């Protein structure tokens, strides 16, 4: 199949959307599919306000349409709701070409964290953007129910995966951990206001807090939290060693739709502490981590969890299973109903 993916988020960005697309494309290529990508690097672009790593392409639907026609796809997937996504959406509608979309970010909450806009106003845009899609791919059952409440019922599952050759419990700890006071409490991800990192750094539990990642809030957090170890952006085996050597992985975000870093930490045998919100609430099970509105209480409970249980939960997620779900959504089979499942069951691929 010739599959065209349109995404405003693309290399050299390092985030969950880009990493998911990269891994999925790799699996699609391995299965014999031809995959093209329409991304901001193909056009003139401007940095996104407050998120300069994201480039906003200066391209209308006609320019995007020329790339679509040149690739001659059999399926089009629009991954983001940015300028390229809107241009591709318009081209598809004008040419009666069916397409799928994905709901990667809880946009109403994300925008509310940055701008004085009502979530209700943003939901109007979300409904408008996704309503014409044949299927909307979502990472969790709770997201499917959230979209169904907004009248968007054509959802299909597209979970996330882990490279188990890289992320596993047998990794040696990161060398920076050797002299740190235990327990080591780790955060990995973009260092930005919507990630709610202050909720993690502000608690008073004993041990050492470690932050891995980069972003616009980094300088401010460093100045206000001199007792925290900031390791910057890590990748590959070095990132895996940071996960594996930590005593607990703390995920303070309330706006992520899934949390790829959560299953990477679990795969390294590190229990997870998080708020009981969509994303971690769909993944974390008793024994592998803890969810609590008091993040300090969640950390205490997660520290008592069995690392083998965490690793077993992380092992459920793989990129081949994730990509099989992506392929299924492209076939335009009838969308599955959204069952009322218990947290944690969403991680098992049927």
- Express each pLDDT in 161-211 by its tens digit: 999 999 999 999 999 999 999 999 999 999 998 899 999 999 989 999 999
The residues, any chain, with a CB within 8 Å of residue 241's CB and separated by 6 or more, are: 171, 172, 173, 174, 175
54 pLDDT exceeds 90? no
Find the CATH number of the domain harbouring 219.
3.40.50.2000
What residues contact residue 199 under an 8 Å CB cut-off, 6+ apart?
Answer: 252, 275, 295
Tell me which residue range forms the domain holding 237. Answer: 175-314
Q: Give a yes or no: residue 71 inside a domain.
A: yes
pLDDT at 115: 62
Is the domain of 224 the same as that of 338? no
- pLDDT number for residue 109: 64
- What is the band of 346 on the pLDDT scale with cuts at 50, 70, 90? very low
With 90 as the cut, is the pLDDT of residue 92 above it?
Answer: yes
CA 66 to chain centre: 30
pLDDT in tens, 261-285: 999 999 999 999 999 998 999 999 9
In a domain, 61, yes or no: yes
Q: What would the mean pLDDT of 296-305 be, rounded to a whole number?
A: 98
pLDDT of residue 349: 26
Between 45 and 51, name the one with better pLDDT.
45
- Would residue 166 count as lying in a domain? no
Interior angle at CA 199, CA 291 and CA 230, nearest 5: 110
Claim to verify: residue 191 and residue 254 sit in the same structural domain = yes
Please choose, from the candidates 143, 257, 261, the residue with its C-alpha nearest in 3D space to the C-alpha of residue 212. Answer: 261
- Whether residue 149 sits in one domain with residue 20: yes
In a domain, 169, yes or no: no
The residues, ordered by sequence, that sit 6+ positions from 185 with a Cβ below 8 Å of its Cβ are 200, 205, 207, 208, 209, 210, 246, 247, 248, 250, 273, 299
Residues 6 and 133 placed together within one structural domain of the fold: yes
Question: Do 143 and 12 belong to one domain?
Answer: yes
Q: What percent of the chain has pLDDT over 70?
A: 91
Residue 339 has pLDDT above 50, yes or no: no
Q: Are residues 214 and 292 in the same domain?
A: yes
Question: Same structural domain for residues 126 and 44?
Answer: yes
Flag whether 168 is in a domain: no
- Per-residue pLDDT reduced to its tens digit, 63-78: 999 999 999 999 999 9
The count of structural domains within the chain is 2
What pLDDT is recorded for position 343? 35
pLDDT over 90 percentage in the chain: 78
Alpha-carbon distance of 76 to 6, in angstroms, equals: 8
Q: Kindly state whether residues 198 and 211 are assigned to the same domain.
A: yes
């Amino acid at each position: 199949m010739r599959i065209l993916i349109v995404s405003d988020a693309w290399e050299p960005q390092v985030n969950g959307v880009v990493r998911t697309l990269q891994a999925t494309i790799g699996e699609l290529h391995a299965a014999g599919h031809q995959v093209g990508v329409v991304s901001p690097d193909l056009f003139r672009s401007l940095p996104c306000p407050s998120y300069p790593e994201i480039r906003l392409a200066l391209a209308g639907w006609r320019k995007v349409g020329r790339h679509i026609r040149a690739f001659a796809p059999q399926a089009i997937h629009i991954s983001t709701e940015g300028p390229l996504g809107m241009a591709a959406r318009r081209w598809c509608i004008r040419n009666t070409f069916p397409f799928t979309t994905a709901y990667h970010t809880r946009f109403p909450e994300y925008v509310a964290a940055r701008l004085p806009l009502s979530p209700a106003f943003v939901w109007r845009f979300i409904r408008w953007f996704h309503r014409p899609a044949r299927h909307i791919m979502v990472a969790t059952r709770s997201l499917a129910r959230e979209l169904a409440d907004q009248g968007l019922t054509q959802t299909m599952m597209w979970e996330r995966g882990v490279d188990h050759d890289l992320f596993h419990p047998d990794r040696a700890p990161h060398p920076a951990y050797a002299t740190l006071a235990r327990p080591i409490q780790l955060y990995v991800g973009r260092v930005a206001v919507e990630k709610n990192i202050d909720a993690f750094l502000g608690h008073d539990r004993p041990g050492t807090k470690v932050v891995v990642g980069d972003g616009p809030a980094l300088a401010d957090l460093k100045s206000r939290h001199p007792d925290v170890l900031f390791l910057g952006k890590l990748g590959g085996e070095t990132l895996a060693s940071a996960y594996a050597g930590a005593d607990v992985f703390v995920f303070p975000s309330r706006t992520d739709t899934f949390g790829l870093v959560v299953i990477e930490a679990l795969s390294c045998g590190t229990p997870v502490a998080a708020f009981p919100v969509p994303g971690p609430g769909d993944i974390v099970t008793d024994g592998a981590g803890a969810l609590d509105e008091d993040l300090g209480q969640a950390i205490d409970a997660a520290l008592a969890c069995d690392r083998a249980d965490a690793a077993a939960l992380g092992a459920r997620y793989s990129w081949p299973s994730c990509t099989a779900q992506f392929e299924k959504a492209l076939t335009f089979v009838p969308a599955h109903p959204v069952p009322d499942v218990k947290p944690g069951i969403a991680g098992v691929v049927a």
